[in-house]
A and B are shown apart, each in its own frame.
Chain A
Amino acid sequence: MVCRKEEKFLAYILVLPAVAILGILTLYPFGFMIYLSFHRWKASLPQIPKSFVGLSHFTRLFQDEFFWSAMSVTFRFLVFVVTIEFFLGLFLALILTRDVKGKSIIRTLFLLPMMLAPVAVGLIWRFILNDKVGILNYFFSVIHLPSQSWLGDVHTALGAIMLIDIWQWTPFMILVLLAGLQSLPEEPFEAAKIDGASAWQTFRFITLPLLKPAILIALLFRTIDAYRIFDIIFVTTYGGPVRSTEPLSLYVYRNGFRHYDMGYTAALSLIMLIIIIAISQGYLKLMARGE
């Protein structure tokens, strides 16, 4: 009680290093990105000075068919994988809350895919999905199904990448929802039992509403990460064939580090950032409403 003022000073000193590092590494790029997005500057021709171009990068962006195709890939991918992962994860989490033998070992094994380096995961699946030596085509041939060039065909490439993401991230949904299910209070369930509620009624009117915070957290994190997908696509299809698997992040990479068109890339990055901030805000509003 004696040294309130001193404590307050100490409190700020303790957060200072973290705030300083994060401040420099996030606020600087953010400011410079906004500045660059209004300028023309090619890193491949650094001797030509930056020139102010106003909003022309943004008008170009809205007419850029590759930008719209990247948007379409990103959102088709995002909506599909997050939905499937959620329902599959919820299904498996509900199964694992039942009296299952060896539950802790099963839980541990489910944990593994999501911890692995996405690059390694991409390469592992590239091998499995390979049209000639891949084991998936072998399994298909055993049950007399035609073999496919999963990652090389325009019709299946995005689906194959979705499968890889579902493989890696469904476990995350399982574990978060399982943690949510296990922390639910028991009283409402006992009350429902006494009132003679059916299993479906209990699930629909008690489990789901109580599980809502865990569901929103799981969806928020998955949405943020699916939106930024890069590594897996980089090592499996590199956006191909014919850009059918090129999401926003890869399009940004290509413009910045293959074409060195830094001004345009900055404009693109800014739009990409604004979209995910808007989506996250939506989730946070939903969470706040529940509280």
Chain B
Amino acid sequence: MRHIKSKTNWFNVITYIVIALFLFFFIFPIFWVISTSLKTRVQTFSIPPVWIFKPTLQSYKTIFSEILFSHYLINSTIIAILNTILVVFIGSLAAYSIARFKTGGTNLSFWILSIRMVPPIVVTVPLFIAFDKLRMIDNHLTLILLYTTFNLPLAIWMMRAFFMEIPEELEESAMIDGCSRMQALWKIVFPLARPGIAATAILCFIFAWNEFLFALIFTRIVAKTAPLALTSLMTEREIYWGRICAGATIVILPVIIFSLIVQKHIVRGLTFGAMK
């Protein structure tokens, strides 16, 4: 008995060591970029690295004063919020219809899912030519529309799963009491699905916020977003790692906070409702 116990103890110790090593691997880069963003220019270059230092906001001040990072942050925020509103509104109506009435059958659902498989680079050439003709290059609306190509399928599939969990009887009894289907949807279903809608909205925001390829191709200066601005911090002559880390921190911090809020639903969102 004693022998077995010591064996499981060793097993536990090894388990924790393995977990600790992988946690270090997955978390250290995030810690490192945030800590570098708070160093002075000299400290960012120092080898061996400085572990304990007096934090400074110098890098942040520089990117806001010298390269107008705030302009790109505002663009990113506007585009991500408006895209999220559009996608969640249109997507929840479609998701409800698909969940309740099986509208379009498996063909429609599958077509929406198959859009997820298309590499975005593949559609950029024809879309660039079209938006160029419409004089909509470097326009916020262009990105808001383009981001529906990945966020709308996500929203529809994710919310379809949430709506399917709401028992149909609730709406039916409301409708017997004289509500129309739309009233039942508005007063019964949407309030019940609120956690699901919120989680979907936050995920859509994150994906719009993080997007790079469309922003690279379809914007220049006016509608340029923060992820794209990060790359322009890499100058040919000299790389200011402190500034890059400050910019990267600003881009990743909101995402970290939002991810913690919706962590229960992330797996569901990323697998289009297939896994819970």
Contact = CB atoms under 8 A, between A and B. Distances in A.
A180 B275 contact: yes
Contacts of B260: 108
Given A176-B275, A179-B276, A257 B217 contact: yes
A277 B111 CA distance: 12
Most interface-central of B25, B108, B127, B275 (chain A CB within 10 A):
B275
Interface string B67-103: 0000000000000000000000011011011101101
A258 to B, nearest CB: 11
A33 B149 CA distance: 17
Contacts of A273: 118-119, 122
Interface stretch (A51-59, A60-68, A109-117, A185-193): A109-117
Contact of A175 (B23, B44, B267): B267
Interface string A138-177: 1000000000000000000000000000010011100110
Contacts of A256: 124-125, 128
Contacts of B125: 29, 33, 36, 252, 256, 262, 265-266, 269
A5 B259 CA distance: 43
Nearest to A142: B48
Interface residues of B, number: 89
Interface in A49-103: 92, 95-96, 98, 100
B186 interface: no
A286 interface: no
A70 to B, nearest CB: 12
B259 A115 contact: yes
A284 B222 CA distance: 42
Contact of A272 (B22, B119, B213): B119
Contacts of A277: 114, 117
Nearest to A175: B267
A27 B113 CA distance: 14
Nearest to A164: B29
Interface string A118-154: 1111011101101011010010000000000000000
Interface of B: 15-16, 18-19, 22-23, 25-27, 29-30, 32-33, 36, 44-45, 47-49, 90-91, 93-94, 96-98, 100-101, 103-104, 108, 112, 114-130, 145-146, 148-149, 152-153, 156, 181-182, 206, 209-210, 212-213, 216-217, 227-228, 230-231, 234, 241, 244-245, 248, 251-252, 255-256, 258-260, 263, 266-267, 270-271, 274-276
Given A92-B19, A235-B234, 8 more contacts: A29-B123, A110-B26, A120-B251, A138-B49, A176-B271, A221-B270, A228-B120, A249-B121
Interface of A: 7-8, 10-12, 14-15, 17-19, 21-22, 25-26, 28-30, 32-33, 36, 43, 92, 95-96, 98, 100, 106-121, 123-125, 127-128, 130, 132-133, 135, 138, 167, 170-172, 175-176, 179-180, 183, 214, 217-218, 221, 224, 227-228, 230-231, 234-235, 248-249, 252-253, 256-257, 262, 265-266, 269-270, 272-273, 276-277, 280
14 contacts: A11-B97, A15-B98, A15-B108, A19-B94, A21-B152, A28-B126, A117-B227, A120-B252, A132-B47, A133-B44, A135-B49, A167-B29, A252-B121, A269-B122
